[in-house]
Structures are given as C-alpha cells and as structure tokens.
Structure 1
Amino acid sequence: MKLLKPLAVAFLLPATFVSVDASEGYISKIHPVAKVILSQDSTSLDKILPFDNEVLVGTLKNGFKYYIRRNVEPEKRVTMYLGMKVGSILETDEEQGLAHFLEHMNFNGLKHFPKNELVDYLQKAGVRFGSDLNAHTGFDETVYKLPIPSDDPELLKNGLQVMRDWAQDALLDAEEIDKERGIIMEEMRGSRGANQRMQDQYLPVLLNGSLYSKRLPIGTEEIITTFQPEVIRNFHKKWYRPDLQSLIIVGDIDVTQMEQEVIRLFSDMTLPATPEERKEYKVDLLNKNQFIAVTDPEMQYTVGQIIIKHPEEKVKTVGDYRSSLLKSVFNQLINSRLRELSQQANPPFLQGQVGIGSLFGGLDNMSLLFVANPGKFDLGLKTLIREMERFEKYGFTETEFQRAISSIAKGNETSYIERDKKKSDAYVESYLRNFIDDAPSLSNEDRYQLTKQLLPTLTLKEVENIGKKFYADVNRDVIVMAPEKDRALVPNEEAVNAWISEVKKEEILAYEDKVSELPLLAKEPVKGAIAATKHIDGLDAKEIVLSNGVKVILKPTKFKNDQILISSFSPGGTSLYPDTEYMTASNASSFVNGSGVGQLNAIELRKYLTGKNVNVSPYISERSEGISGSTDKEGLKTAFEMIYGYFTEPRLDDDIFQSGIARTLSSMENREDNPDFVYSDVMLKSLYGDNIRRIVPTPEKIKTIDQQRALEIYRERFADASDFTFTIVGSFAEEEIKPYLEQYLAALPSISRKEEAKNLGIVEPNKGFEKIVYKGKEAKATVQLKYYGDYDYSEKENLNFDALESVLSIKLLERLREDESGVYGTGARGSSSKYPIGRYSFTVGFGTSVDKYQSLINSALDEINKVKKDGPTQIDLDKFIVEQKRQLEVQLRENTFWMGQIAGAYQNNEDPTYILRYLEELDKLTIDSVKEVANKYLKDDRLFKFILLPETDN
C-alpha cells in the first residue's frame, strides 16, 4: 500500500563560493573554502555552511554547470548524472506529460546513438538498462543516470558523449515518438489503481489548488496519444538548455582530464535567442484548515493523515543545520513512543508515525499518519492526537532525549569511519540536490565535525519548541482514505474536529520512560574452546570447529572499515513439524524476535541498543533455522550476547504475541477487494491446492497459532548448536574474534542430535494450464507465464540458466516494448533450488492493455521458441557475459556478496571457491549450451498462464 509519508529531514547542505575566471571557456570555478566555520568561531549560527572542498565545480560561459570528484568506491567505476531544472511544472496545458515523454525519447534516438542504439551499445559494455542506465522526471527536475566502467577509455569517452547528447541532441523522430506513445500509456496504465484514483481527488486539497496539483509528471491520456511532434520539439528547444543543466561526475577518474573533456564537449551548447523565464513555482499557504475523505472499492485499509504545512526552512547556515538536527531528534523521540503503542496487546492502530520534513513547492510539514484498525478510525486518531498532546503538555524526558542524541552521534561516527568507503552514488545525489534545490553539500569532514560540535549544544527545551511550532492548528489538512464498503463509517470534518477537541480536554498523564537496569543475560556463559582450524585455500578464510561442534567460517576483509556480518544456519526448519503446527512453527521466530531477549523485553532492548550499531535476529524457515545480523567492533560483545541469548534465554511476551495476532488479523480485512491479492491467491491455490505451507493463510489459520507451543518450537529448533554453521565476514582480525567464539558460540548448548530437513513433496502440477482471474476496475491486464519442473542442479546448469534469463529479458524488452509498444516493463526471471530435490521456476511477466494481452503472450512465446530453436544471438550472450564480469568486479569488494557466497555454499554443500572459477566458466558459455537449457526447461506442457483482467470483462 502506498501511503503519504513525511520526507525525512535531509542534511543536504549549500550554495557555492565562486570567483570569476574567463580564460578557459568557463566563467566560474569553485575554489576550496577554508574551514572558517569549524576551525574558528563554530558557535556563530549565522555562518554560511562550507561547500564540499573535495569536488571541483565550474560553470561554462553558456551557463552549464559541472561537479567532478574522484572517488574509488567502487573501483574502476564512475557515476554520471545529468541534472536539469526541468520538470512537469513547466508544462503548458497543451504540454502535460511531455517533460516525462521527452525523458523517454532521450533513450530512443540521439545524435550519436540513433533509434535504440544507446541501450544496445551500453548493454554490450555491461551496463544494465533499468537498474544501471535510468532516468526520472519529477515536478521540478529531470535526471539522467549513467554508471559505467571507467577503466575503458573508449567507453568513458562515449559515456560523456551520451550525456552531451542527452543535454541537447535528442533526434525526436516522428516515428519513434509514435512508438513511444504506447509505452507511456502502459506506464500510466500500470500505475492506475486505488491509490492513484484517490490521489487524484485529494491532491488538489493537499497542494492548495496550486499548479502542482494539475501537473502530475505522467500527463494525460489525451495529450500523450494526440500531441503533434512539433509540440515536444518546441518543449525540448525551450527548456533543454545549458543554463538549466548540470553534469555531475563522481568516480575512479582523473579530475583534471575529465574537466577538460566536459569543457570540450559542452561549451558549444547554445541558448535560445530569447530564453523563456524559468519561474519558481510555490504552493501558497491558505491560512485555513481543510478536510477531504475519499473512498475506493479496491482500497484495503482506512488511512488517516494530518498534514500541517509550514513555509520551507532551507538549510544554508550553521544555525539552519542545527535546526535540522533538532527536527531529527524530535522525529526519533515521538516515533519511539508510537512504536511502544503498536506493541500493546490491543494496538490502537496498525501503523502510526509522525515526522517533520520537507514537502515541495516551498513547503515543509509535520505529518501525522496512521493506518486504522477496521472500524476503529476514531481510536487511531485519538491515540495519535493524545500522544501529541502528551508531548505538548509534558514534553520529553531527559533520558529519552539523551538516547536520541546518542543515536545520532553513533550514526555520525559510523559515517565518518566509513568515509573513504563511501559510494560514488551518495556524492552524486548530494551534488544533484545542490544544483536542483540549492541545498548545501558538506564535505565528510565538515559534516562530521559540525554534527559532533553541535549535538552537545542541543537542549531538550529546543527540541520541544521545534515540535510545538510545527504542531499548529492552522494550515492543517486532514485526509481520510478508506474502502468504499466502509463509506458509512468514514467520519466527516465535524466528527474529526470533535474527536480532536475531545482529546485536548482529557486529563493526560506524563510519559514514563521505563529503562531496565538489568544486564541482557541472566548469567555469563561457561566458556568453551576452539577444537580445530583449517584454511580454505583461495578465499583467505578459515573454517573453525568449536568444542561443542559449532562450525565457524571466518573471512576478514577490508571492504569496510568497521562492518561485521554474521549469519548461521542449521538443517531442520518448519519441515520437521506437521501441517497442523505449521502456522505456529512458521511464526515462532518473529514473535521471539519481537519480544526482546534475555532479561530485556522489546522496549527495554531497543533502549539498551540505542547508540550501538548492532542488529541480530533469529529465523526459522522451511528447511533451516539460524541467526543473522551485523555489528561494528564496538558492538561485538553485545552481538554475541544477543546470539547466546536467542539460543538460551529466548522470550515470547504475551503483549507482543497478542499485538502481532491482532495487527495481522486487522491487516487481512478487505484484502479480497485488492486485485493483486486476489490474483496472487488464485495463482497459489491453482498451483498448490490447499497446502497450508504455500497459500496465503486465512484469518482462521492465524487464530490457530499457539503462543506456548510457538516458544516450545523455537526452543526445540535452537536446543542444539552442534549442527550450526556460522559465517562471519568483515573488518575484524582473527585474534579479535576468537575470544567471542570461545566465550559465546562455544558455550551454546550441544546435544549432538542428527537432523535433516524433510522432503515435504510439495511440487507444482506436472502439466501446465491457463487461469484467468477477473478482478479490478481498471482496464488493464497483468500476465505471468510460468514454467515449473525438476532441475538438474549443478554449477554449469545454473550458469546457463542465468544466461537464459538474461538473453530472454533482452529479447522481450526489444519485442514487447520497443517493437510493439505494448508494455512499459517486462523480463524473464529464473530461480532454482537444490534441496529437497532439484526444482526450477521460470517466469515471464508484464502488464498491458486488455486488448493487447493475448497478442503479447503470443509474441513472448514466439521469442521463447526462437531461443529454443536457434539459441540466443551471440551478441545477446556476450552482453550477459560482459555484464556478469563487470558486476563481479564490484561484488568481489562487498561483504554482503562474500557472506552470500560462503554461507550459501555451505548450506547447499557446494564448493565455496567456485566464485574464483566463475570468470573461466563464463567463457565456456555457448549458444548451444543455452539453447539446450531452454529446450530442457521451457517445455510447452510445463507452461502455466495466469492472467488478471478487470471484472467488467467477465
């Protein structure tokens, strides 16, 4: 469900310091600013924040701006953004949707890359369309994104040429425009549903009837399908101009050389003879309160939101930055209280949150949002207002305040420690916001020092004053969204105002901050020992066996300065329990995880962990159980205490259990009105009948979950550590970690039982079929073509299966999107499993119009049959190979990647060093080997067709 959410307070920071220099084709260039704020009078709140002195910023004579920075994370990569102060807000009535349409057209014909040659060229270089190569259009901006390898001079040169073509050299061919109309319509069609229909009704209220409410970037069907090509060409000439554009380049590059290329390529861009004024549009405050209630037959929940609008407070000075910290503290404090309410045995709402943040159109806001329990909108509203009134009357406690300060300080320290490992994408986003919004952009050093210096100066009173200022009684919008069937229960404005007034008159007690003084564990574990150690050749890793049989794989890395990942598994899982206990067994770990651990309940544990970078959670899946988490070096002891606690001192508190059951049951109300739920439910039941382990549970099944038995099952799963395998990856030395292995993991209970997960024999039918589901009001179709069957699991088979997925995705996009203009997105997705027996699934999915779905199914199957008959083209196969090689270059420097590789290999009884041979195996792929896999698994009689159509077509 898509909800209106308050935007997080952004610490994006400011304007540039320029000096004039017209000698080299540019009129201004940023020079590093001395740290006047931090090294001298840092308490002067009116001081302008310093701009990041590690990025080169310049402006050409034509107004084109550039940001260039060297950053080697990831190595051999560079990220380029072309940011434009051009969005849908600039459109005339006759141009609605054309800013977004123009973004699409920049992928369909450029001066140096005609038609679809751009995507084809970049795919050959290993750049993935969609996940790497992408763009977006908003109200006030259009942004083009290109992350590419930087170690290939020719590719780097052409990447810059792409950015230059995007800036001003779209071909805008009439034939390509007509082809793109259908794609845009499918994008529009895909977004239609309950949320969009309701948004169309409340947006004019939220945006005070401003132009923003009339300029949604997607545009209108009438204009998208009928505009003349000359209209979009004029829009392009009018707005795609250098004074509204900026190129942002961050990566493993030579900054000086890159600047010269930017100057060479972009200096010749021209401005119109009489440039159109780029107006700044605002949402004017009306100084009154507004109310709107909207319903929809497909809405599943009742949602209430109170949005209190305020003039925007830009962050430009030290004082502004300090105010943003105060807002962040307030958001943490109030939402911590709301989390506690949600954990009550009978929670007053399904979800509740409050936040001060930015809106747009020159506005900030305080947003109060809640998802109501069915039939209890008044309870949710009153609870949220009551907490705000409690805050307004009593404020926050000093202990709450200090925890929030500690949390922010920890985040600041962590960010600073990892500054040399910071990804280029983070810098690019910061500089983009500087260009588009004139938001500040601090250096890592300045941000760290400024935050560190300012945090101790914040006072509880100031935080309370910030909250009280934003919690105002004017410029307040109340928006209610509800299911159509509950229309009679939807309150009117008078009822809402009466409930708010009622709460304001209540006798409200002060909040009591309950903090436990008990240690996490009731007793210290009895230390064990390391029994055996062996090296894993090639991986720079060790396999250790502890005295209780626990196996530990250690892989120290330097990919992060202070990140340690922990994962473990043991065979068994819910497969060992009968169907009658499945619901209890499958939910046991989530209830335990939500209840705290050891001597601390959930609320106490959260407070205990404040200021610690530690996250540890148990799980029970179908075939295994285990514990996973992450920590830094400072939190290692706490992390291992929690692991030990989840084995030996688990808890399942009654209020957490009751709250979880109540919220789950409430969330299931009205789900049968949601087309996506009905579609998914029918698919699962068609494939698995009434098997409780595969279908969506009913409310009746949820009610069978037994609290006492859930804790018993959890304890059974974690009663024996002797068959557990732990994998630990990250920034540690072996000698640092060994004491924790001995003190905690070697002390885990061991009874040396021999367990294996059971083969439950759950497989899809042997013969495919077609199933059409009629649900929903929108005239759109959703299609999933699925293949299932037995699978010959092996390294070679898996690689060819992955290649099949990739080459088919390329062909489906080319055929269904580019050639037939029938879909916005499509692709193939394959998955396979080794246990309990080799099985595979392969899915082709897309959304389209009702009148096109059958022809597109035929086209998709035709592409599948081409691969089965002739195999993939060598070009498409090469695209997959180079993409995998390029992806691996980055992945090999990620802790998460190595965790997945090593832990996955041990769990599947595979060779953990396979990844070292992967590049060699890639080169063994052939057209025939992929063709063979296609014929083996994409059999006509194994095809299942699932189609969702609107009810009106039944």
Structure 2
Amino acid sequence: MKQTPTSIRLPFAVLIIFLGITFLSMSVKGQVLPLDPAVKVGHLPNGFTYYIRHNEEPKHRVYMYMVNKVGSVLEDEDQRGLAHFMEHMNFNGTVHFPHNELVDYLQKAGVRFGADINAYTSFDETVYELPLPSDKPDILREGMLIMHDWAQSATLDPTEIDKERGVVLEEKRLGKGAGERMQRVYWPVLLDNSRYAVRIPIGLDTVLDNFKRPTIARFYHDWYRPDLQALIIVGDINADSLEKVVKTMFSDLKNPVHERIRAKYTVALTGKNQFVAVTDKEMTSTTAEIIIKHPMLPLKTAVDYRKAIIQNLFNQMLAERYAELSRNVDPPFVGGGAGITGFMGGLDSYVASVNAKPGELEKGIKAVWRETERVKRFGFTATELERAKTAYLNGLDEQLQEKDKTSSESFVKEYQAYFLKDIAAPGIVAEAKLTRGDLPGITLSEVNNLAAEYITTTNRVVLIQAPDKDKNTLPNELIVNNWLRSVETENLSPYKDEVSKLPLLAVSPIPGKIIDEQQNKVLNITTITLNNGVKVILKPTDYKNDEIQFSAFAPGGTSLYSDADYQSAANAAGVIVSGGAGNFNTTELSKFLEEKQVGVAPYISDRYQGFSGSSTQKDLETAFQMIYAEFNEPRKDSVIFKGIIEKSKAALANRGNDPKNVFNDTVSAILSNYNVRRTGPTLEKLQEVNLDRAYTIYKERFSDASNFTFTFVGSIDTNVIKPLLEKYLGSLPSTNGHEVARDLGIHIPEGRIEKTIYKGSEPQSTVLLIFSGKFDYSAANSVKLDALKEALEIRLLQRLREDESGVYSPSVSEQTTKYPQQRYSFVIQFSCAPQNVDKLIASTLDEIAKLRNDGPLQENVDKWRTEGKNSLEPQLKTNGFWLGYINGQLQNNEDMEQVNHYNALLDDVTPASLKEMAGKYLTGDNYIRLVLLPETSLRRN
C-alpha cells in the first residue's frame, strides 16, 4: 500500500522549523504503516493483486488462498444465496478440472477435501484455501492452475448446478434451529434493516431451488474479476520464480466491459436505541446483550496501532474483573462479560452480555451492567494496568521469539486481512518496535477514557433471547432501561485490586536426586528416574524457539472409585483447582499468572490422573512450582465450590430443550449400556458432587508420585531442567503403591440395536451408524482400520453427497483401544432431510457391503496412503505431536520407535487386506442405528 504523503508545504516552513522534531514525529505517526517487507506484493495491469512470501514452517508445504472482495451483499434479489452457491460450483467443474475432477485430483495428491482444501463465503468476501506439498513441482504447477480456474474459469455446468442444489440445501439445513429462528427476528433490528440484514450468505430456498444458470453466471461474471481478487501464496517456495509464474498466468484475467460498481455497504448509526426480545421453545437459557455501536477503529497508521493497544489493555483488564465476579459464592449469572469488539458494516461495538440463571434475568443484567458502570465511573487501577502491560509485552515477546517459526497459514491470514479490510500488516518486528515505543507511555487515564467513549447512551440495542416458557415474564424496553438506570444511580465503590505478596508455595521443597538416566539416540529422548520413583521423559526439539509442552500421567483415575463416588471423583480436579493452589486463592493465582507465559492443569480421567501444561523457558520454574503446589498444596474453597454448583444447576435447567442435547445424551447412554458414568448430566448427579469427598479423592490421586511419568517436549535446556526436576518432582511424596486402573467393563453393547429419537421442530435428521466389538490390537491393524475408514468416507462423499445430493458432509471415524480391553468402534454420521433417512442409510450399508465383498478401489487406498504420508511429515515437526505420541506409546506399552515404521505400515496396506478387515469388523453382527427425527415425524407415524 502507498504511504500517505506528509503534510509539509512551503508556506508553513517557518512553523516547521519552530516545531522541529515534534511535528515530524506526529507526521510519521499519521502515515500508513508499510507492509511487511518480507512479502512480495504486486498489482497486475488488470487490477489483480498478489502477495508471495517464502516461509519454511512447515517445511515442504505451501498455502495458496484465492481471496475475493465478493460476498452475499453483492447479490441481486434473484441471486440470494448464489454467492455461496458459486463457491460450491468452483469445486464442481472448471475449465481444466471438469465435473468432480478437482477434488479427485487433490485427493490423489494427498489433500483432504473439507479438512485441507476448503472455502467460505461471508457477507463481503469469498475465500478459497489450498494447502499443497511444495517439493513436488507437478503438484505446485497444478495448484497454480487451480487458483487461476477459481479466479475466472468455472464452467457452471447446468447438470452440476442441479446436483449441487441438494448439497447446499443440506448445508442450510444444518444451520436450522433455535438460534437461526431467533436470528431471523432480531437480525433486522440489530442491523438497522441494512443490506446485511437481507443478504444472509446461505440464501433463500426459493432461489436455491429454482434459479437457472444465467442467474448465477451473471453474478459470477459481474463480481469474479481481477480488480476484486488477490492471490496469497506463503510457504517453502522460491518467491522470485513463483512471482514470474503469477505475472504470466494471471495477466489474462479480464474485467467486465460494463463493470458494476463494487459498493461498500455499511450499517448506519442512527442515534436511536432499540430493543428486541425473542423466544424459542428449543432455547436452553435466557441471555441478554447490551450492544452499543460505534464507528470501527481503523488500523492503518502508528496512531491507530497505539489506540488498538489501549483497547486490548482495556478488554484484558475488564475480562479479569468479570472473571473475578463469576467466582462469588452466589454468582449473579451463569456467565457474563463485556468488552469492545468488532461488529459489522464498518462498526465496532461495546457489548455487555449475560447468560442469566432461570428467573434471575434482572439480577444478571444488573450485575453485568454494574461492573460496566464501575469501570465507567472509577476506571481501572494502576496495578491492574501494570499487570496488563506486562502480560501484553510477554505475549509480544513470545511472538517475536518465534518469528522464524511462524506458520505460513498465520501469514496468509494477515495478508488476507490487509487486502480485504485494510488492516495494517507491518510484520512482527515492526509491531514489536511500535509496542515497545507505545506501551510505557500509555497512561491510566487514556485507558479509562475508553469507557466514556464506548459506554454511551445512544446507538444501543438491547437483545434478549429466552425459552418460550419464559415469554410472558420477560421485561419490556422500559423495564430494562429502568434496571440500567437504577444501577447507574447506585452508590458504588471503586474496585480494590488485592494482590498477595506471598510466594506461591507455602513450603519450600526438599530436593531429591536423579538416580538413573537412559538415552534413546534414535529419537533423541532421555529417560530420567528420580529417587522417589518419578520417571521423566525429555525430548529437546527446535520446532519452536521458546515453547515447552508437558504432561504427566499415573494409572488409577476414577476407575478406582465406586459409582456412588464417581461424580465427586470425576469433578475433583476441576473443583479443587478452582480454589487456587499453595498460598494463593484462585483470584490471587490468576493475578500471579497473568504476567507469565505458563499454564498447568491437573486432571483425573477414567484410567489416569496427571497434569498437562506449557511454558516458556523463562517461566519453566513457575510451571514446576505450579505442579508442586497442585500436587502437594491443593486448596479447598467452599465459596468457589458453591458458586460452581449454582452455575451448573442453572445451566442444566433448560438443557433438554435442545434436540442435539437430547440426542447426544441418548447416544451416550446407549453406547455405554446405560452405565451411570456415561449417561447425560442431571441435577441429581450434580447433587452427588461433595466438596469434602472430592478433596479427599484428589489428595488420594496425587499422594503417590512413584507411579507418575512426566514428559517434557520442546526448547529444553537439559542443564537447566535437571535441577528443577530434582527440586520439584524429586520432592513429591512417594509410597510405591503401584496402583493399576480397574476394568469397569463399560463398552458398546453387542448385538443389533435400533433407536429413533423424536425431538425438535425443524425438518432435519441426524444419523449415527456404529459398528463395534473386540479388536485384534496391533499397530498394523490400527493403520488398516484407519485406511478402511478413509476408503469408506471417500465413497460416501461421492455417493451420498455428489451422486445423491442427500447430505452436506458425511463423516466416518474409528477408535481402537488396547486397555482395558482390545476393542474398536467404527462410526458413520451424517445429517439429512427426514424423508431421506432410510434411503441414505441403505446407500451407506450398500457401500459397506461392497467393502466386505470387493474391498476398496486401489485408487482410494492410494489417496489415503498419500494423505497419510503428507500429513505425518509436518506433524513430526511439532511439539504437540511428540507429546501425544510419547504418552500414547507409554500408556499402551508400545515400541517408542514405532513412528519410524509408520510409512512402511502404510505401504503394506492393500485393497485385499482392507477387504479382510471389512469382513471381520463390519459384519453388522454388532450394529447400532441411532436416528434423530423431528417431533412431526412421530405424529405422522
């Protein structure tokens, strides 16, 4: 982007000399921030824009995005929904990839449809996403051709249009429900009947069902044009050579001879206040939002950037205030908060929102508004601002530290916002320089002034959503306004920022000793044993410059407790950690951690107890202190506990209104053979959670460290971490109990089960088909089951979506376990029209029968194999993958070097071996069919 010229003119020369450097500094701050110099940006004569950047995270990968300043607001009345439909059609036939050849080609290249290759349409934009391997020149060339086709070469075959109607209508069906029905009512009010209120991207059934090719072709030729398009390419590529290709390939794109003006639509600020209350029988809670609209803050200059920092600090401190309020003994709401956020149509907004307890809307609204009023009246404190500044700078430092490890996709999103929304993208080095220059000088009064600027009495919308049964008790506009005014006249006191001066730990640990150390040079893993029996796995990596991820586990978990104790055991970690740790209660702990880049969370699952967390190198000792405190010095806070229970009760009150909740709870019950540990949440179960018992169980689970294994992956300095291991982990208590988890016998029941659940008013259905049973567990068989899953998903995508136009996105998942029993589950899921359920289930079972009788097509096995190899390569360069892999191998007693043989296992899979797997595991002997249908279907039956 061009820089705005400075305002220096000769008649003001004397004034300039007088003002000197101050004037020049102000002028520079008013300039548009230059784009990150690391990205190549160009504009072709036809108006087409490109951004190209070399980046090696991940290696051998490139991300290509075709970005269009084209969305549903540009539709004519007879085109409502066709901006989104056009997005679909670009996958259903282009000049070089007719019909479905595009998806087929990309699958063969190892790119997954829906997971890797994707697109979206919004009000003002349509974006196509394509990640590809960059070390295969032929695939890279084809990728550029795909981008070119997406820009202007869709064929819009009438046959493909008709086939895609059903798919788009099924996608629309997925969005139906209480939220969508209520939105139809409040959307015009919220958006002041602007263009956005009548151009929802999904469109109208009447258009989607009946439009002809010329109507969508008109939209395509009007708006898919080079002066509204940008190609963004970031990845492990040669940017110079690729720039030449872009200039050659995309210069032939044409703008229309009679070019329509691309209007910029906005939501008007009328100065009036509005109120809307809507109800629905499937709504599960009563919520209220107070939305105060303002012109959007631009983010183009250094001045804008400073304002954005102030806004972020404001939101950060306000969020902490509401978090503290939610921890009251009798919290005034299920959830609540406020802050400055984006809106749409050129607007920002201050939004105060509450999820109220049943029958307590007034209390909830007043509580949320009271904190807003407190901030407006008294502002924040100096100590709050200093903590927020430190946290902000720490986050920035972390980004700067990882600047050479930033993912390509992150850069793509940045340049996308630069092109579409004119949001500055100067790069992290420039941003760090701006922040370090601005942050120290930001004053408390500047942050506090935002409250007066944003919390105003005009352009305000009050939106209430509630269950139908509460319709007659909802307040009107006058009543809500009176509630707000009553808060504004209360005798409020300023917020007191109470910060503990104590150290985190109440007792200083007595260090233990490392007694054994083993090296696995193949995987660069060190296994350490401490004198109390704790085992530690260390895997130093350079995938991030300053990231350490860790976890811990020990056998036992909730399996060691009776059904009567289960609710207390299952909730023990969450309940106890919410009370704080060591010398700090939860509020003090939150303030202590706010300035640090560290997180530690204990857990108690079915078969294990342990920790998960992450840290930077600087805050690693704090992470160890947190582990020690949560292991040795947990806190029991009855006030926090009562608040959690009260909020949980309120959240359950109307849970059964939602058809999805009812269906999911039924599924969980059936698949666990109605075991009380797997059935849905209830008030009765909530009442079984006992604080004293939960505390005892927590202490029991973390009383013996001898059975714990800790794994640390990332930017580890072994010389630094070893003394910390001895001090904090070597000092943990040890009884050498060597507990093992119990087999509770909870698994999917055998035999054939069919159940239909009737719930909901929309004509939509959900189908689950489950195959399960005992499994001959091995790495090879697990890989084959994954291949079988992928082969079936490819076929269902082709048949149910493309051929029969009956679903939007069918999915297949599989899961295997080695302990406590070797078992598997194979789950097919899709949503569809109620009248198509039986037909689509029959088609699915027919495809499964083909797998059993004939095996999958070789080309589908090849697609799976290529995708598997492509996806593994970048995963191997992430700390998260290794942390999960190491823990999984340890818990399953599997060979740690198995990962090095993964590609060989993939190569061993053949259609014949998958036919054998299907014949063994998809017989239908253990088959469960679960269907959600609307209540109207029950009445018809």
Same fold judged by TM-score > 0.5? yes
Contact 1:588 1:711 in 2 (8 A): yes
Contact 1:16 1:51 in 2 (8 A): no
**Does residue 54 of the first structure (1) align with residue 60 of the second (2)?**
no
CA distance in 1, matches of 2:697, 2:171: 47
Alpha-carbon shift at residue 683 of structure 1 (Å):
2.0
CA distance in 1, matches of 2:186, 2:745: 50
Contact 2:3 2:31 in 1 (8 A): no
**Does residue 139 of the first structure (1) align with residue 120 of the second (2)?**
no
CA distance in 2, matches of 1:259, 1:252: 14
Match of 1:885 in 2: 869
**Does residue 238 of the first structure (1) align with residue 238 of the second (2)?**
no
Which of 783, 790, 794 in structure 1 is aligned with 2:767?
Answer: 783
Alpha-carbon shift at residue 450 of structure 1 (Å):
0.8
Contact 1:412 1:452 in 2 (8 A): no
Alpha-carbon shift at residue 697 of structure 1 (Å):
2.8
**Does residue 797 of the first structure (1) align with residue 781 of the second (2)?**
yes
Which of 174, 178, 185 in structure 2 is aligned with 1:201?
Answer: 185
Contact 2:68 2:230 in 1 (8 A): yes
Match of 1:419 in 2: 403
Match of 2:293 in 1: 309
Match of 1:547 in 2: 531
Secondary structure of the residue that 2:30 maps to in structure 1? coil
Map residues 274-423 of structure 1 onto 2, 5 A cutoff. 274-423=258-407
Deviations 1:103-137 (A, max 9, x none): 00000001100100001101111111111100000
Secondary structure of the residue that 1:769 maps to in structure 2? strand
Which of 53, 72, 78 in structure 1 is aligned with 2:62?
Answer: 78
CA distance in 1, matches of 2:521, 2:295: 61
Match of 1:832 in 2: 816
**Does residue 637 of the first structure (1) align with residue 621 of the second (2)?**
yes
Map residues 577-616 of structure 1 onto 2, 5 A cutoff. 577-616=561-600
Secondary structure of the residue that 2:769 maps to in structure 1? strand
CA distance in 2, matches of 1:356, 1:437: 18
Alpha-carbon shift at residue 685 of structure 1 (Å):
2.6
Map residues 392-791 of structure 1 onto 2, 5 A cutoff. 392-791=376-775
Q: 1:908 corresponds to which letter in structure 2?
A: N
Alpha-carbon shift at residue 501 of structure 1 (Å):
1.0
**Does residue 210 of the first structure (1) align with residue 191 of the second (2)?**
no
Which of 207, 216, 223 in structure 2 is aligned with 1:223?
Answer: 207
Q: 2:33 corresponds to which letter in structure 1?
A: L
Contact 1:185 1:221 in 2 (8 A): yes
Deviations 1:746-769 (A, max 9, x none): 111001112100011112221121
Deviations 1:728-763 (A, max 9, x none): 100012112101111111111001112100011112
Alpha-carbon shift at residue 42 of structure 1 (Å):
8.2
Any unmatched runs of 5+ in structure 1?
Answer: 1-14, 20-36
Match of 1:27 in 2: none
Match of 1:87 in 2: 71
Any unmatched runs of 5+ in structure 2?
Answer: 6-20
Alpha-carbon shift at residue 18 of structure 1 (Å):
11
Alpha-carbon shift at residue 915 of structure 1 (Å):
0.3
Secondary structure of the residue that 2:706 maps to in structure 1? coil
CA distance in 2, matches of 1:536, 1:655: 49
CA distance in 2, matches of 1:88, 1:684: 39
CA distance in 2, matches of 1:832, 1:185: 35
CA distance in 2, matches of 1:662, 1:327: 33
Map residues 865-884 of structure 1 onto 2, 5 A cutoff. 865-884=849-868
CA distance in 1, matches of 2:169, 2:178: 18
CA distance in 1, matches of 2:221, 2:103: 24
Alpha-carbon shift at residue 855 of structure 1 (Å):
0.3
Which of 83, 94, 105 in structure 2 is aligned with 1:110?
Answer: 94
Deviations 1:628-679 (A, max 9, x none): 1000011011000111111110112112211111111111011111101111
Which of 172, 193, 201 in structure 1 is aligned with 2:156?
Answer: 172
Match of 1:101 in 2: 85
Secondary structure of the residue that 1:275 maps to in structure 2? coil
Map residues 886-901 of structure 1 onto 2, 5 A cutoff. 886-901=870-885
CA distance in 1, matches of 2:581, 2:307: 36
Q: Which runs of 4+ in 1 moved over 3 A?
A: 15-19, 40-45, 687-690
Alpha-carbon shift at residue 457 of structure 1 (Å):
1.2
CA distance in 1, matches of 2:268, 2:682: 48
Match of 1:31 in 2: none
Deviations 1:68-90 (A, max 9, x none): 11011001011011000110000
Contact 2:362 2:483 in 1 (8 A): yes
Deviations 1:909-944 (A, max 9, x none): 111110011111111111121111112111212110
CA distance in 2, matches of 1:18, 1:662: 56
CA distance in 1, matches of 2:431, 2:316: 20
Deviations 1:856-894 (A, max 9, x none): 000011111111111111101011111111111100100
Match of 1:29 in 2: none
**Does residue 929 of the first structure (1) align with residue 913 of the second (2)?**
yes
Match of 2:930 in 1: 946
Deviations 1:377-417 (A, max 9, x none): 00110001111111112111111111111111110100000
Match of 2:796 in 1: 812
Q: 1:271 corresponds to which letter in structure 2?
A: N
Contact 1:557 1:730 in 2 (8 A): yes
Secondary structure of the residue that 2:805 maps to in structure 1? coil
Deviations 1:285-332 (A, max 9, x none): 110100000000000011100110011221121111111111101101
Secondary structure of the residue that 1:349 maps to in structure 2? coil
Deviations 1:461-501 (A, max 9, x none): 00010122000000000000000111122111111011011
Contact 1:327 1:467 in 2 (8 A): no
Secondary structure of the residue that 2:515 maps to in structure 1? strand
CA distance in 2, matches of 1:44, 1:750: 63
Contact 1:772 1:947 in 2 (8 A): yes
Contact 2:370 2:487 in 1 (8 A): yes
CA distance in 2, matches of 1:239, 1:50: 28
Deviations 1:578-631 (A, max 9, x none): 000000000000012212111101100010012210000100001010011000
Secondary structure of the residue that 1:308 maps to in structure 2? strand
Name the CA shift for 1:784/1:16 in 2 (closer, same or farther; >3 Å): farther
Contact 2:3 2:32 in 1 (8 A): no
* Length-normalised TM-score, structure 1: 0.96
Secondary structure of the residue that 1:634 maps to in structure 2? coil
Match of 1:3 in 2: none
CA distance in 1, matches of 2:69, 2:76: 16
Secondary structure of the residue that 1:107 maps to in structure 2? coil
CA distance in 1, matches of 2:349, 2:738: 58
Match of 2:8 in 1: none
Contact 1:564 1:730 in 2 (8 A): yes
Q: 1:693 corresponds to which letter in structure 2?
A: R
CA distance in 2, matches of 1:942, 1:652: 46
Contact 1:573 1:621 in 2 (8 A): yes
Task: Identify the range of structure 1 (387-396 vs 714-723) with the bigger mean alpha-carbon deviation.
Answer: 387-396
Alpha-carbon shift at residue 537 of structure 1 (Å):
4.0
* Length-normalised TM-score, structure 2: 0.97
CA distance in 2, matches of 1:936, 1:494: 67
Name the CA shift for 1:725/1:81 in 2 (closer, same or farther; >3 Å): same
CA distance in 2, matches of 1:43, 1:171: 51
Q: 1:150 corresponds to which letter in structure 2?
A: S
